[in-house]
A and B are shown apart, each in its own frame.
Chain A
Amino acid sequence: MIDELNLTMVNWARAQFALTAMYHWLFVPLTLGLSFLLAFFETLYVKTGKEEWKRITKFWMMLFAINFAIGVATGIILEFQFGTNWSNYSWMVGDIFGAPLAAEGIFAFFLEASFFAVMLFGWERVSKKTHLFATWMVAIGSNLSALWILVANAWMQHPVGMAFNPDKARFEMQNFWEVLLSPVAISKFTHATTSSFQLASLFVVGISAWFLLKKRHQDMARKSIIVASVFGLLSSAFVGFSGDEAAFENARNQPMKLAAFEGLYDGEASAGLVAAGIINAKKKPGDNQNPFLFEVKMPGLLSLLANREPGSFVPGINDLVYGNKEHNIMAVDKKIARGKIAIELLSQYKTAQKEKNEPRAKIALANFKKYEKYLGFGYLTSPEEAVPPVALTFYSFHIMVILGTLFPLIFLMFLFYAYRGTIDRKTWLLRLGLFSVPLAYVASQAGWVVAEVGRQPWTIQNLLPVSVARSNLTTGTVQTTFFLFLVLFTILLFAEIRIMLKQIQIGPDFSGMPEDD
Chain B
Amino acid sequence: MKKLIVRIVSFYVAGFRRMRLGRTLWAIILIKLLIIFGVLKLFFFPDYLHDNFTTDMERADHVSANLTQIPTQKQDRRLP
Contacts and interface: CB of A to CB of B under 8 A. Distances in A.
A2 to B, nearest CB: 20
Given A88-B63, A169-B64, A488-B35, A65 B25 contact: yes
Nearest to A464: B67
B70 A343 contact: yes
Interface of A: 62, 65-66, 69-70, 72-73, 76-77, 80-81, 83-84, 87-88, 90-92, 113-114, 117-118, 120-122, 125, 166-170, 284-288, 322, 333, 336, 340, 343-344, 346-347, 350, 375, 378-385, 467-468, 471-473, 480-481, 484, 488, 492, 495, 499, 503, 506
Contacts of B25: 65-66, 69, 499
Contacts of B8: 113-114, 117
B29 A72 contact: yes
Nearest to B69: A343
Nearest to A126: B11
B32 A383 contact: no
A117 B49 contact: no
Interface string B53-78: 00010011001101111111111111
Given A121-B12, A382-B73, A81 B45 contact: yes
A322 B79 CA distance: 12
Interface in B21-40: 21, 24-25, 28-29, 32-33, 35-36, 40
Contact of A77 (B11, B36, B74, B79): B36
A357 B45 CA distance: 40
B60 to A, nearest CB: 5
Contacts of B66: 88, 468, 472
Q: Which label, helix, strand, loop or mixed, suits the secondary structure of the A interface? A: helix
A84 B76 contact: no
Contacts of B59: 91
A80 B41 contact: yes
B77 A286 contact: yes
A170 B56 CA distance: 11
Contacts of B20: 506
A166 B63 CA distance: 10
Contacts of B77: 284-286, 382, 384
Given A121-B15, A169-B60, A343-B68, A480 B33 contact: no
B3 interface: no
Given A73-B33, A488-B35, A383 B76 contact: yes
Nearest to A343: B70
Contact of A467 (B11, B40, B71): B71
13 contacts: A62-B21, A66-B21, A80-B45, A81-B45, A83-B45, A87-B48, A88-B66, A117-B12, A121-B11, A121-B16, A287-B79, A472-B48, A499-B24
A343 B68 CA distance: 5
Contacts of B28: 69-70, 492, 495, 499
B67 A169 contact: yes
Contacts of A120: 11, 15
Contacts of A384: 77
Contact of A169 (B16, B63, B70): B63
A259 to B, nearest CB: 17
B42 to A, nearest CB: 10
Contacts of A121: 11-12, 14-16, 18
B71 A170 contact: no
B12 A322 contact: no
Contacts of B16: 121
Contacts of A347: 68
Given A80-B41, A84-B45, A381 B71 contact: yes
A481 B60 contact: no
Contacts of B75: 382
A488 B28 CA distance: 12
A346 B15 contact: no
Nearest to A379: B71
A499 B11 CA distance: 22
B45 A117 contact: no
A244 B34 CA distance: 43
Given A117-B8, A382-B74, A484-B40, A83 B68 contact: no
Contacts of A350: 64, 68
A484 B32 CA distance: 13
B37 to A, nearest CB: 8
Nearest to B66: A88
B4 to A, nearest CB: 8
A340 B18 CA distance: 64
